[in-house]
Amino acid sequence: AEDIEFEQKMASTPLPTKVGDYKNHPLYVLKKDLLKFQGIYPSDAPPLGFFRGEPVYARECVQLLRSRETWLRFARTVKDGETPYKCVKSRPKWDKYAKVLRKDLPLDVFGEWQTVPYDPPQARDGKVPRNNFGNVDLYQPSMLPKGCVHIQLPGLLRVANKLNIDCAPAIVAFDNNCGGFGAHPVMDGYIVCEEYKQTLLEAWDEEQENIRKREIEKKEKRVLDNWKKLIKGLLIRENLKKKYSNREENSEETDIESDN
């Protein structure tokens, strides 16, 4: 039904006669008006006509293009042997090792038809599969490594290290609003092999209970110390009162004797 409606719109809407009308037109597009990360697909899509010798394509043929890294964030990977749809200039990136700003680096981009759903790796021998940076890419729930679980508890890595259990931080997104150039990974929770889940949860609960007890002890000690300071201050004050009271009494006795 949608295809029929679209065809009816196409049939009733003539091609624009001005070049500016093609930009952002809901039905028609010129290749020269495509954005950096847009392409025409299928590649053999027939033009609907020509404008000043340039082919005019249906807007529905405009597809979004992404780099390998960006497709991964949508839980998709580029098929083996795929030729990039085109190569564009990447955004400026700060090279923290060379301490220089890298500009105009080539970036291969691909269409969704050139990708397949991401197939997460399998955990083996109690080890969590990681990326090249020692983390786990978990931009979508379907990317969780096979045989693993995602635990979102603070301080879990410390507990896992104490028990010698493999545990890797999970990257769930990238933040482009941190200032400077480039995106920064957003971590949320940890990935562990599912056979260690219960052990870790129990150990984490035990540590939290110990932390809670230590906090109570610290609070009680602080209260006790404050009471000690208060009592000490009161004793000093009382001693000073007695001391000066005795002096005043002695002074009065001396005055009386002098009068006599």
Mean pLDDT of residues grouped by 10 in the chain (260 residues)? 61 85 94 96 94 95 97 98 95 75 89 98 97 96 98 97 98 79 86 98 96 89 88 86 72 59
**Which structural domain range is residue 147 located in?**
120-225
The predicted pLDDT at position 182 comes to: 67
Same domain? For 154 and 215 the reply is yes
The predicted pLDDT at position 104 comes to: 81
Same domain? For 201 and 142 the reply is yes
The predicted pLDDT at position 83 comes to: 97
In this structure, the number of other CB atoms found within 10 A of the CB of residue 95 comes to 12
Q: Is residue 30 part of a domain?
A: yes
The predicted pLDDT at position 237 comes to: 86
Q: Is residue 156 part of a domain?
A: yes
Same domain? For 178 and 220 the reply is yes
The predicted pLDDT at position 132 comes to: 94
Give the pair of three-digit tokens for residue 82: 């795929």
Domain containing residue 14: CATH number: 2.20.20.110
Residue where one domain finishes, among candidates 117, 139, 156: 117
The predicted pLDDT at position 223 comes to: 86
Q: CA–CA separation, 48 vs 189, rounded Å?
A: 51
| Neighbouring C-alpha atoms within 13 Å toward the C-beta of 194 | 8
Domains identified in the chain, total number: 3
Same domain? For 145 and 186 the reply is yes
Q: Is residue 168 part of a domain?
A: yes
Q: Is residue 77 part of a domain?
A: yes
Same domain? For 58 and 107 the reply is no
Nearest CA to 171 out of 72, 66, 68 is that of: 72
Q: Are 185 and 135 in contact (CB under 8 A)?
A: yes
Same domain? For 52 and 149 the reply is no
Same domain? For 136 and 183 the reply is yes
Give the pair of three-digit tokens for residue 69: 């890294």
With helix as H, strand as E and coil as C, how does 56-87 read?
EEEHHHEEEEECHHHHHCCCEEECCCCCCCEE
What is the three-class DSSP state of 145?
Answer: coil
Same domain? For 80 and 8 the reply is no
**Which stretches of 118-251 are assigned E, i.e. beta strand?**
136-137, 148-151, 168-175, 184-193
pTM greater than 0.85 (yes/no): no
The predicted pLDDT at position 241 comes to: 82
Q: CA–CA separation, 6 vs 11, rounded Å?
A: 9
The residues, any chain, with a CB within 8 Å of residue 257's CB and separated by 6 or more, are: none
Same domain? For 51 and 79 the reply is no
Same domain? For 103 and 160 the reply is no
Q: CA–CA separation, 133 vs 40, rounded Å?
A: 35
Same domain? For 89 and 126 the reply is no
Q: Is residue 89 part of a domain?
A: yes
Domain containing residue 137: CATH number: 3.30.70.2460
Residue where one domain finishes, among candidates 80, 96, 117: 117
